[in-house]
A and B are shown apart, each in its own frame.
Chain A
Amino acid sequence: GNSVTQMEGPVTLSEEAFLTINCTYTATGYPSLFWYVQYPGEGLQLLLKATKADDKGSNKGFEATYRKETTSFHLEKGSVQVSDSAVYFCALRGGSSNTGKLIFGQGTTLQVKP
């Protein structure tokens, strides 16, 4: 079945450092890919998405490109802030066995220090 794998955390960075969180997926067909973020004590919010190969999703300085050839959707940000400290979840929806559900990776905790 469809699945998502993320890099292990936690990731600890200094403010203004470059961030990459790796995400790879397994799916048949053409799923859409998402990054959700969970700030401390809060629910899940959509950060960005990409719906087809080579699409780039972007929001709040974060970017991710849907790479079908490497089945990846890595999250990047050029200069992180303390306020970016959160748990980041890569997820997919759809593919040839689409039932509408979202499938999440295991989440990566990011801690940004001043």
Chain B
Amino acid sequence: EPEVTQTPSHQVTQMGQEVILRCVPISNHLYFYWYRQILGQKVEFLVSFYNNEISEKSEIFDDQFSVERPDGSNFTLKIRSTKLEDSAMYFCASSSTQATNEKLFFGSGTQLSVL
């Protein structure tokens, strides 16, 4: 089965630093998503992206966050100035359509630790 790839698997950073989390979605997919999971809590939606623009974002996705598709294969999540509470597992996901019956394919995640 095709895979969504995320790098790095672990990222440690100091509070206030910028981080970029990288994802390579499945090649023919058009819809891209970022989710996060704080340890022991639910998986929370951050943002969806289609046709080079944000389709929807949650209240978590404030001005400190941005997403980009810099080329035809990568999809990145940037946190401009990290806070302690940004420590979480971040998952990238993709799908080929917005059809409700289609699953999202998830990467294995990037564990972000902000010190």
Contacts and interface: CB of A to CB of B under 8 A. Distances in A.
A98 B100 contact: yes
A100 interface: yes
B55 A99 contact: yes
Interface stretch (B14-22, B38-46, B65-73, B80-88): B38-46
A25 interface: no
Interface residues of B, number: 26
Interface string A29-48: 01110101000001111100
Contacts, number: 64
Given A101-B56, A107-B42, A107-B43, A51 B48 contact: no
Interface residues of A, number: 26
A32 B91 contact: no
Contacts of B43: 44, 89, 104, 107
B107 interface: yes
A105 B41 CA distance: 10
Interface of A: 30-32, 34, 36, 42-46, 49, 51, 89, 93-95, 98-107
